[in-house]
């Protein structure tokens, strides 16, 4: 069976909430803006994804552990759609979520330096950014291997640990007992 992995993330700011599904291989974005962050809105977003991803594809959604993603209405929705697979990121692990990188692009290239006099202006800017992105989407490509990334994290941890008093080291590297 064909596989097209999509991930999802929430961006909340200036009274607007945005959901985005990002095609792993195509970098195509399915976006939806709404004013609330509840399971009803998430369900509508899932319905949108279902209409835009061809029936022959499995859909893997990577979400955080927010309670909205775990309600009965959402569990029932997934139970009726076996091609949809839900994966939760580890707590404090959103950096591993690829769509986080796309939202960083949105923030850096469009939102951070923008002036939005209303939520409507912000939403228009986000929609325009999605449309422009989807005209020529380019997949994100990791430039380092997992070993290089882990070595970098280890070097950072070593520098951090050596800079702290020994009392903190027990808590950060031990069991906390």
DSSP for 112-175 reads TT---SSHHHHHHHHHHHHHHHHHS-------S-HHHHHHHHHHHHHHHHHHS-HHHHHHHHS-
Q: Is 164 exposed, middle or buried (0-12, 13-18, 19+ CB in 10 A)?
A: exposed
Interval 93-111: pLDDT, tens: 655 667 778 888 888 998 8
- Confidence label for 135 from pLDDT (cuts 50, 70 and 90): very high
Give domain limits for the chain: 2-135, 143-177
Contact (CB, 8 A) for 130 and 25: no
Dihedral sign for Cα atoms in the order 26, 27, 33, 36: positive
The CATH code belonging to domain 2-135 is 3.30.420.10
Give SS3 for 90. coil
Residues 64-86 have pLDDT tens digits of 777 777 889 989 999 999 998 88
φ, ψ at 175 (rounded to 5°): -85, -10
Q: pTM of the entire structure?
A: 0.56
């Amino acid at each position: 069976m064909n596989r097209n992995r999509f991930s999802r993330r929430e961006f909340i700011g200036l009274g607007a909430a945005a959901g985005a599904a990002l095609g792993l291989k195509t970098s195509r974005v399915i976006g939806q803006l709404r004013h609330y962050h509840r399971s009803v809105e998430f369900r509508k977003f899932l319905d949108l994804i279902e209409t835009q991803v061809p029936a022959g594809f499995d859909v893997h959604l990577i979400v955080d552990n927010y309670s909205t993603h775990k309600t009965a209405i959402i569990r029932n929705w997934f139970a009726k759609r076996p091609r949809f697979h839900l994966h939760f990121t580890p707590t404090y692990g959103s950096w591993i979520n690829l769509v986080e990188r796309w939202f960083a692009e949105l923030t850096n290239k469009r939102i951070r330096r923008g002036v939005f006099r209303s939520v409507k202006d912000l939403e228009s800017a986000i929609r325009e950014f999605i449309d422009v992105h989807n005209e020529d989407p380019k997949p994100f490509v990791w430039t380092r291997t997992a070993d290089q990334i882990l070595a970098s994290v280890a070097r950072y941890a070593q520098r951090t640990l050596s800079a702290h008093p020994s009392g903190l080291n027990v808590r950060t590297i031990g069991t906390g007992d």
